[in-house]
Each structure stands twice: as C-alpha cells, then as structure tokens.
Structure 1
Amino acid sequence: MILVFGGTTEGRKAVEVLEEGGSPYFYSTKTGEQDITLHHGQRIDGALDEEAMRAFCLAQHIRLMVDAAHPFASQLHQTIAQVSEVLNIPTIRYERIYPERDPHLEWIEDYSQIPQDIHTLLATTGVQSISKLKYLETNGIKVFYRILPRESSIALAKKLGAQEDQLCFFAGSHPLNGGLASRQGAEADAILLKESGLSGGFLEKVEAAKAKGMRILVLKRPAINFEHSVNGPYGLRRAVEKLLPEFYPLHSGLTTGTCATAAAIAATIRLIKNETPAEVPVILPNGETIQVPVSYGEDYASCFKEAGDDPDVTNGIEVRANVIYEHKDTETQRIIIKGGEGVGTITLPGFDYPPGSPAINKAPREMIETNLKTVLSPLTTNLSPLKITISVPQGAEIARRTFNPRLGIEGGISIIGVSGIVKPFSEEAFIESIRKCMTVAKASGSERVVINSGGKSERFVRALYPTLPQQAFVEYGNYIGETLKIAHELNIKNVTLGVMLGKAVKLAQGHLDTHSKKATMDKVFINEMLQEAGISMDISNITLARELWEKMPQEKIQDFVNVVIRHCETFCKPLLPEGSLTILLIDDEGKIYK
C-alpha cells in the first residue's frame, strides 16, 4: 500500500499517476480542503505527528510513501523522514521544478533577514507566516498579507493578529491580483515571495512584481533530502515501478529519443570533462528530469532501450552516440545532429525534415539540443561546435519489422518519442482508463466532454472551451468508437470530438479504431473524398495525410473539411444516439475547422 502526502499541485499529479495502476492507496492532506477526485485512493485528512503517522503506516501495511507536500512544509518533511527511517519504508520526494535563481532578486534564508529599509510589504507567503512577520510592524513597516479566501484561512489570520485592512485575497488569474493596487490606490514598495517553483507560479509573480517596479524579496526553499527524488509524473511512475513493482500491472519504458539523448549527454560529458557517470539526468519535453543508465564503448556512449511491458520490437536495442568537435568554419550551429549506422533515412516528403535527412524526429532532436545546452552552459561558450552522430547497430535489421519501409524510411529505424516515456497499456486496460476518465468528466458536472487523440490536439481545442474544467478533456488515443460508446453508456449529452487529419481520414472510412495496426491511410478513399469536394489533385506521392493541407487549394479546404466531417459523422453519431456530437478537424498548426 502507498501513502501519499499531498494537498498541492504535485499531490494532484501524483494521484493521476497512481490512478493509472488501478491499485489502492491513501492520500493524506492536512486540511481536507483540496478538491480532488479519487477512484482507487482513500482520502485521510488531518495533520499527522510522528506517532500517529507511524501507527497508521503499521496498521495499513504501508510499503511506500510519496512526499508531494508543499516544499515549505518543513515539519511534515521531517516527520516523514523520521517514520521512513524507523519503519524502513522507502519514500519518494515529488519535488517541484525550480528555475535558476535570478541574481537580481534579493534572496533570504529566513524571515529575520528581511531588510528594514522598506516602508510597505506585500507578503504572499501564506497565512502561517503572519506570526513570523509581525515583528516588522513593530519596526514601522506596513505589512499586507495575501491569503487564500477560505474561512479557515481568514479566521487563522485574525487569530495571528492580522487586521481586516491588512488582508488581501487570491482571486482571478493575475499573479498579483488582490494586492495593494486594489486598496485605495496604494502600492507596496516590496513583495515577499516564497521560492515556490514553476507550479507555484513563481516566475509569473516575479514578472508581475517587476512590472510594478517592486523590490522583490524571495525566501529560499528549505533543503529536502530523500534518497529517491523526482520532479514530474513520469519520474514518479518509474520510481514506484522500481520500489513497489506490483503496484502497476504493466511497467513503463523509454523511447528511442530518450535513449539517444542519454547517450549524447554521456558522450558529451566524457569528451569535455573526461567523466563516465553510470547514469545521466535527462530533461524530458514536459520539463521534468529523470535519471537514465548509460554505458561506454571505445568512441561512444550508449543507452539500451527498455520498452517496459509495451510490445515493441526495439526493446533491448543499443542506441549509441558519438560526439566530436566539428571544426568546419562553415558550421554556424553549436550542436549538429547526424544519423549513423542503423538510423533510417527519409526518402519521401511529408515528415518534419526533407528527404535525405536522418529519421530522427523533431522532439528527440529538441531533447538532445536542450539537454546538451544544459551540459555546456556551466562550462564555456567558446567550444567548437559539437557533432553528435546517433547510431543503432541492430537498426537495419529491426526496421524490416516496422512500418518504416512503407513510410519511405530506408536503412534503419526512426528515433522517435514525443513525451520521452513509453506508457504501456493493453487494449482492455487502455479502454478501462478511458472509462475512468469519462466517469470523472461526467462527475465534474461539465456541460460538455471534449475527447481528443492526445495532448497536442487537446491543447488546440482547449482554447475553444476556456471555461470547461480540466476533467472535461479526455484522451481517446485511437479508440474513438469505444469512447463514444462509453459516453452513451454514461448518458453524456454533449460531446466534442477533436481529431487531426491522419486519424480523420481513417475514421471517415469507418475505422473506429485508428491504430496503424488496425487501419492504414487509403489513398483511393481519400481521392474519392477530394472528388466529392470538387478537388482534382494528384496524391500518389503523399506518405502522410497531413500533406493534404499544403497540397490542396486553400479556397477548397473548407469544402474538403465538410466532406471529411460528414463521413465521420456517418459512423460516429449512431454511437451517441441520445446526445449531441460536434466534430472538429484540426490542422498541424492548430487551426480548427468545423
């Protein structure tokens, strides 16, 4: 059993990660005021001292703890560490992502270091800090406290000595709303912030304070030391899989893009620092960092692909990176990425890069560049450009068992991966996860549920429905038909289906499961839809449906969209007989057609 300490954004993310396992767990908060939905978790509320926490862990057979509490909850972190040591229960710290400390801000270790030469201070450090700031008032500094607009927070603030006219409240979206600007036109000379990380809106608050010309004081976050620390959902899942393997029926893995990035990092560190670490930190596209094992050969570093329990022909392959200085004067790039043995070559148009380019997708290239810039930044900017050559010794052989030959990628595999992590799901488990998400969406009371294939399409469609709660957006992956059937079973009346063209042309032909193993792009059918829209064009050379956006006449795009959506409706609307279905077609730039 797992015990999570939350009440934060990280706590909410931890719940999302653990819910994927379908196993029971406990979620603990101090006040019980966080609005959160648990399906497999059981909520416990109220502060736990060391004795109570120890007793609970023993009674409930807790085998793993996750500390996702606020970084400034020092007493709780200390208690968790003590119980963890006494009962020998491993603990994962779910940390926030923190930007580099801006030297132009005034950093302090504790409240006693606040400068005394300010006149008015806006404190955004929470209701618990009021007692620690009262001494400033006796020194002639006017202090305003911005707190949450909860009855419990207001009552505690007054109990700690704050006056009514000193209280400001969080409201709306502006980082400094509810501040002094709303109180008789007064402005604070300075603002006191906690180093609360990206999820705490730290950068937004700093920028807003700078715009107001305020002096910015920042209370440094306390050190939190646990053996296992993560700063994102993928890292948390991988840590749970390692420490409590049975919690997840299926385990996650790494993409070839992450493996290539890890190998490139390791090879660069060896070239520049002459060090060979056994694992390296890899920053994923979502900003979190995971540790990835690496190894070394004579002139390369490598990473072995682990696919977890996802059925993948690339599982176990070795991805290598050779890194050398590039001394050509014509090169203006600081990081040059090349494809070597076993990495396929693009031979047809329609991909992120032109024919002749190595089949290393955009996301892995960006991962490599982002991570190597991080490695290089503390060293020197005067280094010669680096040439990174990615190779896969078994790539040519394995590629024959993939769709690469059909897509016009020859000579090897593709280096791919948008998230950097492979999350495995059997078809049954994936559909069950959709059902859970749809159930949560229904329970949220939202007037509409918006289903999308993934994060990219969801990001585009969200702009159309800014007032819908997060729970109203559900990913269907490839299972459009099953998702619509679930919507009908749950009596969801209004559904919006966001779909990109690659899946839409399959759906329009009646393929309610758009996975490439179940359905492929049918050029004959696409040509029939083009003719139906009054468009005459040669599509014999296209390899991906998204190429249609650029090839067809701009003035005829809406006509084609109308035909595609009409065909999609033919197969989708019967699955939602008592509801209203809106289908949105999305292009690669995020433009939405309906």
Structure 2
Amino acid sequence: MILVFGGTTEGRRTAEVLEKAGATYYYSTKTGEQDVSLHHGIRLHGALDHHAMVAFCREHDIQLLVDAAHPFARQLHETVAEVAKELRVPAIRYERIFPQRDSNLTWIDDYSQVPTDIHSLLATTGVQSIAKLKPLEAKGIKVYYRILPRESSIRLAKEQGATDEQLLFYEDSAVIDVETEAVLLKESGLSGGFQEKVDVAKAKGMRIIVLKRPATPSIYHIVNGPHGLRRAVEKLLPDFFPLHSGLTTGTCATAAAVAATTRLIKGETPAEVPILLPDGETIMVSVGYGDGYAYCIKEAGDDPDVTNGIEVRVSLTPNPSPIDEGGIVFEGGEGVGRFSLPGFDYPPGEPAINKGPRQMIHQNIEPLTRNQESLTVTISVPGGKEIAHRTFNPRLGIEGGISIIGVSGIVEPFSEEAFIQSIRKCMEVAKASGSDRVVINSGAKSERFVRAYYPTLPSQAFVEYGNYIGETLKIAHELGFRQVTLGVMLGKAVKLAAGNLDTHSKKTVMDKTFIASMLEEAGCPIDLTNLTLARELWERISPEKIEDFCRVVLQHCMQHCQPLVPHTALTLLLIDDDGTIHSL
C-alpha cells in the first residue's frame, strides 16, 4: 500500500499516475480542501505527527511513502523522512522543477535575512510568514501581505497583527497590484508560478528577494515529473503497477550520448546519468562504457517491443569548426537505418534518427559541451539490421537497420498513444509516396488479401490500423487522402457495425443481440446461442444469403466510418477467412 502526502499540483499529478495502476492507495492532505479526482485512492485529511504517521503506516501496511507536498512544508518532509527510516520503508519526494537560480536576485535562507535597506515590501510568502516579517515594520519598512481570500487566512493574518490596509488578496499569483520597492518570494518552482512572479516584478523594476527552498532529506528518492514517479514506484514497489513502463530508443541514445560526453569532457564514467525529457522532467538512466563508446541497454518494460534488450551505443568525434544542429552532426553507425523515402523529419539518405531524439541529445549534452568544439554523434545498434526486419521499418522505407525514435522519451506499456503515433507515421509515408489511395487493414492476414485486390499500389499505401479504426480514419482526413479503403474481417466488422471504432477486446465484445438484428435485416435469422466467434457465421449462414448479410454489415459500418472522412471516397471491404472480398 502507498501513502501519498499531497495538496499540491504535484499531489494531483501523483494521483493521476497511481490511478493508472487500478490499485488502492491513500491520499492525505492537511485540510482536505484540494479538488482532486480519486477513483482508487482513499482520502485522508488532517496533519499527522511522527507518532500518528508511524501508527497509520503499521496499521495499513504502508510499503511506500510519496511526499508530494509543498516545497516549504519542511516539518512534513522531515517527519516523512524520519518515519521512512524508522520503519525501513522507501520514500519518494515528488519535487517541483526549479529554474536555475538567477544571480541578479537576492537569495536568503531565512526571513531574518530580508534586507532592511528598503522602504516598502510586498510579501507573497503566505499567511504563516506574517509574524516572522513583523520585525521589519518596527524598522520603518511598510510591508504588505498577499494572502488567499479565505476567511481562515484573513483571521490568522489579523491574529498576527496585520491590518486591513496591509492585506492584499489574489486569484492569479503572478499579478502584482501594489507599488513597492521590493517583493519577497518563495522559491516555489515552475508549478508554483515562481518564474511568472519574477518576470512581473522585473518588469515593474522591483528588487526581488527570494527565500530558498529547504534542503531535501537524503533518504528520499527524488523525482520531478510523472514519468520519473512511475518508474520509481515500479522499482520500489514492483507489484503496484501490473505493467511496467520502458524507455524509447531516443532516450537510450540520449543517455549514451550524455555518458560519452561526460567521459570525454570530464573524464568521469558515472553508472547513471540524468536525462532531461521533453516534458521538462529529469530521470536517471543506467549506462555503461566500452572501448571508444558509451551505451545504454533498451528496456521496453512490459510493452511488446522487439528492441527490448538491445544495446544503443554512442561514440563522439570532435569536429574542427561549428556546424549545424547547434554544433552537432548526427551519424548512423552499425544497425541504424537510413531514410529512403520522403515523409520523415529528414530527407532520404539521412540516418533514421528522428527529430525528437536529435533535440533531446542536443539539449542534454549542450550544457556539457559549452565552449567546446563541435561534435559528431554516431549512434550504433549491434544487431539492429536483423531486428529491423521484425518492425514496420522496411514498409516505411527505412533501410539497413532500426530507427531511433521517441516523442515523450518514455514507453508506457501497450501505449495507445505510441501505437497511434506509429499509425500516423505510416499514413504520412503513404501520403508522401504520392498514392491517392491509402488502404487500411487490421493486420498481416487481411493485408495479404487487400494487396492482391490493389496489385498496382505501392507497398507504402497499405497501413495497419490494429484496432484503431476511428483514429486511423481521422488521420486520413487530416492528411487529406482523396480515397481510402478500409479492409476488415468479420470479427472486427460486427463490432464496427455496432459503432465501436476501437475494436480491442478490452474495449468491446461481440454483441450477439446486434448481430441477430443484422441477420434479421438481411433476411437470414439463425440461432446464435452457441456462437463463440464471429467467423463461425460464415459457416452458419446459407451461401445464398451471405451477400445479403455482408451488405447489411457493410452498410452499418459505413454509417459510422464515413462521417470521419466527410470529403473522402471511402470503400469498405469485408474479407472472408479464405480471402474472398465482399463490398457494397
């Protein structure tokens, strides 16, 4: 069981991550006022001291603590750390993302360090800080306190001696609606609106004083985003998520590049390196080193990926002068394919390293290579040429090896997003092939039959939709295909006819009642009591009624599909088990 301390944006994100597991957990806030959607989480409210937290953890068999509370909840951070140590339970700190400290701001460790050479100050540090700032008023400094417009906050502020004139209220934390010489901020991170407040204060010419965030106890496993949180939970409490996430080949290449650069520039060979993901969070990735290269082993988690376990290598070669890609040239070594068709981020002949991974690599190694000569980054995958035959790459026109891809940097198991992105890329290649018609089909068997039906179309014009019929048709509409053919076998067709545009068995099952209504409509009612699979209908329906039934099924399918491609000539093909094709 997991106990989460939330009440913040990070707390809400923690709940979103844990909800995906479908397992019970506890979500605790001090006041219970946060609006957070929980389906599997059990809400708790009220502060827990050391004794109460230990008792709760023992009573409810808590095996993992997640501290996603405010950065300045120092007492809670220390209590969680103490309890974790006492009970020998791992603890995760979901930290905010903090911008690099600006040396032009005044940084302080405590309220007593607020400079006194100012005439007026706006304090945005919360109602609890008023008593700590009162000594400034005794020194002749006019102090305004900006607090939330809550009755409890107003009452507490006045109990500490604040007057009505001194109190300011806000809904937008970045708005500064009083003219003062200086402003006092907490180092609250990006999600706390820190940078927005700094930008507004700078524009007003105010002196900016910042209270540094407290140090995080060393016992914590620190993460600063949802991907890192999930990976930490998977590592520390492996049974919580039924399926585990993995890394894209782009992230593996980035990790290997960072490791190789670290060795080249600093002479260091760390076992793990920090990787900045496209969403701004940082995760730690394991790496290794060889003769002249660094490497990262691809872990796909529980996603069915033929590249799982491959070794992604990066070697670096200094260049004599700055070049494109911000001082970086990318080369594909052994096992990395090349683009042979248009429709990708880069033209034919370029190594199959997509734009996302290139940007990730540049963003991650640029701080290490600053003021250094430019580099050629060569990515290699031993055995990649053989592995590529088991991927979409040959059909996409990627020759000689695998491609280095990845949008988010993380692969969620059986990710719909990842599969749909691969469909989109196939559709873009089909469009770039120059074919006016794209033929979408469910898999290898149906594709074999529709290829024979359209023998003159290029191979890139045939795209597998798996179960995502609706999403594939939407992509076809976005790309402006003039003609689309949908090939479907009976098992998926009866689901599609009932309006299910995602035919995965987890989303929908065969509806015998609806099938019976279509049989009635076709004038061939039969007993469906013992029907297990839709394809059994081919044998049960009399031969002279097969075409009537196919027509009804296709008509219902067309009603749901045509609206998704309103400006496209749509052809539907219903494919028999022996390859016979029925159409309207």
Give the TM-score taking structure 2 as reference length: 0.74
User: Which residue number in structure 2 is paired with residue 277 of structure 1?
Assistant: 270
CA distance in 1 between counterparts of 2:109 and 2:186 reads 10
CA distance in 1 between counterparts of 2:143 and 2:453 reads 69
SS in 2 for 1:349: coil
Q: Which amino acid aligns with 1:249?
A: P
User: Which residue number in structure 1 is paired with residue 509 of structure 2?
Assistant: none
User: Which residue number in structure 1 is paired with residue 60 of structure 2?
Assistant: 60
CA distance in 2 between counterparts of 1:105 and 1:515 reads 59
CA distance in 1 between counterparts of 2:322 and 2:174 reads 47
User: Which residue number in structure 1 is paired with residue 97 of structure 2?
Assistant: 97
Q: Which amino acid aligns with 2:202?
A: K
**1:395 and 2:394 are equivalent in the alignment:** no
User: Which residue number in structure 1 is paired with residue 539 of structure 2?
Assistant: none
Q: Spell out the pairing of 1:170-249 with structure 2 (5 A cutoff).
A: 170-172=170-172, 175-177=174-176, 179-180=177-178, 187-225=179-217, 226-249=219-242
User: Which residue number in structure 2 is paired with residue 32 of structure 1?
Assistant: 32
**1:345 and 2:334 are equivalent in the alignment:** no
User: Which residue number in structure 2 is paired with residue 254 of structure 1?
Assistant: 247
SS in 1 for 2:413: coil
Alignment counterpart, residue 294 of structure 1, candidates 282, 287, 308: 287
CA distance in 2 between counterparts of 1:66 and 1:235 reads 12
Q: Which amino acid aligns with 2:115?
A: P
Q: Spell out the pairing of 1:75-114 with structure 2 (5 A cutoff).
A: 75-114=75-114
8 Å contact from structure 2 (residues 2, 64) kept in 1: yes
SS in 2 for 1:374: helix
Identity %: 60
8 Å contact from structure 1 (residues 66, 94) kept in 2: yes
User: Which residue number in structure 1 is paired with residue 574 of structure 2?
Assistant: none
8 Å contact from structure 1 (residues 176, 209) kept in 2: no
Cα shift at 1:329: 7.3
CA distance in 1 between counterparts of 2:101 and 2:478 reads 53
User: Which residue number in structure 2 is paired with residue 420 of structure 1?
Assistant: 409
Quickly say closer, same or farther: Cα 1:122–1:503, change in 2 above 3 A. Answer: farther
Q: Spell out the pairing of 1:119-130 with structure 2 (5 A cutoff).
A: 119-130=119-130
Cα shift at 1:583: 6.8
8 Å contact from structure 2 (residues 108, 114) kept in 1: yes
8 Å contact from structure 1 (residues 509, 525) kept in 2: no
Quickly say closer, same or farther: Cα 1:345–1:477, change in 2 above 3 A. Answer: closer
SS in 2 for 1:3: strand
Quickly say closer, same or farther: Cα 1:132–1:560, change in 2 above 3 A. Answer: closer
Listed one character per residue, the Cα deviations across residues 314-364 of structure 1 (whole Å, up to 9, x for unaligned) are 000000000121125777842222111100100100100000100001110
> What is the number of residues matched between the two proteins?
481
Alignment counterpart, residue 265 of structure 1, candidates 258, 268, 275: 258
8 Å contact from structure 1 (residues 270, 276) kept in 2: yes
CA distance in 2 between counterparts of 1:386 and 1:510 reads 43
Quickly say closer, same or farther: Cα 1:333–1:8, change in 2 above 3 A. Answer: closer
SS in 2 for 1:343: coil
Cα shift at 1:152: 2.1
8 Å contact from structure 1 (residues 344, 411) kept in 2: yes
CA distance in 2 between counterparts of 1:271 and 1:405 reads 35
SS in 1 for 2:222: strand
Q: Which amino acid aligns with 2:252?
A: C
8 Å contact from structure 2 (residues 430, 462) kept in 1: no
Quickly say closer, same or farther: Cα 1:297–1:503, change in 2 above 3 A. Answer: closer
SS in 1 for 2:188: coil
Q: Which amino acid aligns with 1:216?
A: I
8 Å contact from structure 1 (residues 254, 305) kept in 2: yes
Q: Which amino acid aligns with 1:408?
A: G
CA distance in 2 between counterparts of 1:8 and 1:312 reads 36
CA distance in 2 between counterparts of 1:310 and 1:35 reads 33
CA distance in 2 between counterparts of 1:165 and 1:516 reads 74
Q: Which amino acid aligns with 1:71?
A: P
SS in 2 for 1:282: strand
Q: What residue ranges of structure 2 are gaps of 5+ in the alignment?
A: 432-436, 464-475, 487-495, 502-555, 567-584
Quickly say closer, same or farther: Cα 1:543–1:118, change in 2 above 3 A. Answer: farther
**1:408 and 2:397 are equivalent in the alignment:** yes
8 Å contact from structure 2 (residues 147, 168) kept in 1: yes
User: Which residue number in structure 2 is paired with residue 325 of structure 1?
Assistant: 318
Quickly say closer, same or farther: Cα 1:518–1:41, change in 2 above 3 A. Answer: farther
8 Å contact from structure 2 (residues 385, 401) kept in 1: yes
Q: Which amino acid aligns with 1:424?
A: P
Cα shift at 1:386: 1.2
8 Å contact from structure 1 (residues 72, 221) kept in 2: yes
Quickly say closer, same or farther: Cα 1:321–1:560, change in 2 above 3 A. Answer: closer
8 Å contact from structure 1 (residues 499, 584) kept in 2: no
8 Å contact from structure 1 (residues 407, 543) kept in 2: no
Q: Spell out the pairing of 1:357-506 with structure 2 (5 A cutoff).
A: 357-377=350-370, 381=371, 383-425=372-414
CA distance in 2 between counterparts of 1:332 and 1:501 reads 27
8 Å contact from structure 2 (residues 332, 352) kept in 1: yes
8 Å contact from structure 1 (residues 306, 316) kept in 2: yes
Cα shift at 1:242: 0.7
Q: Which amino acid aligns with 1:405?
A: P
CA distance in 1 between counterparts of 2:373 and 2:332 reads 20
8 Å contact from structure 1 (residues 350, 543) kept in 2: no
User: Which residue number in structure 2 is paired with residue 149 of structure 1?
Assistant: 149
Listed one character per residue, the Cα deviations across residues 223-282 of structure 1 (whole Å, up to 9, x for unaligned) are 012341111111111111111000000011111001100111111111111111111111
8 Å contact from structure 2 (residues 323, 329) kept in 1: no
User: Which residue number in structure 1 is paired with residue 298 of structure 2?
Assistant: 305
Listed one character per residue, the Cα deviations across residues 461-519 of structure 1 (whole Å, up to 9, x for unaligned) are xxxxxxxxxxxxxxx96999xxxxxxxxxxxxxxxxx99976999xx9997x9899998
Cα shift at 1:540: 6.1
Cα shift at 1:375: 2.2
Q: Which amino acid aligns with 1:190?
A: A
Listed one character per residue, the Cα deviations across residues 36-74 of structure 1 (whole Å, up to 9, x for unaligned) are 010110010011111111111111110000011111110
Cα shift at 1:584: 10
SS in 2 for 1:337: strand
Quickly say closer, same or farther: Cα 1:320–1:376, change in 2 above 3 A. Answer: same
Cα shift at 1:145: 1.3
8 Å contact from structure 2 (residues 121, 180) kept in 1: yes
Quickly say closer, same or farther: Cα 1:119–1:516, change in 2 above 3 A. Answer: farther
Q: Which amino acid aligns with 1:160?
A: Q
Give the TM-score taking structure 1 as reference length: 0.73
Quickly say closer, same or farther: Cα 1:80–1:582, change in 2 above 3 A. Answer: farther
Cα shift at 1:170: 2.1
Give the alignment's Cα RMSD to 1 decimal. 3.8
Cα shift at 1:164: 1.8
Cα shift at 1:28: 0.7
SS in 1 for 2:359: helix
Quickly say closer, same or farther: Cα 1:560–1:56, change in 2 above 3 A. Answer: closer
Is 18-27 or 225-234 further displaced after alignment? 225-234
Is 138-147 or 328-337 further displaced after alignment? 328-337
8 Å contact from structure 2 (residues 323, 374) kept in 1: no
Q: Spell out the pairing of 1:13-28 with structure 2 (5 A cutoff).
A: 13-28=13-28
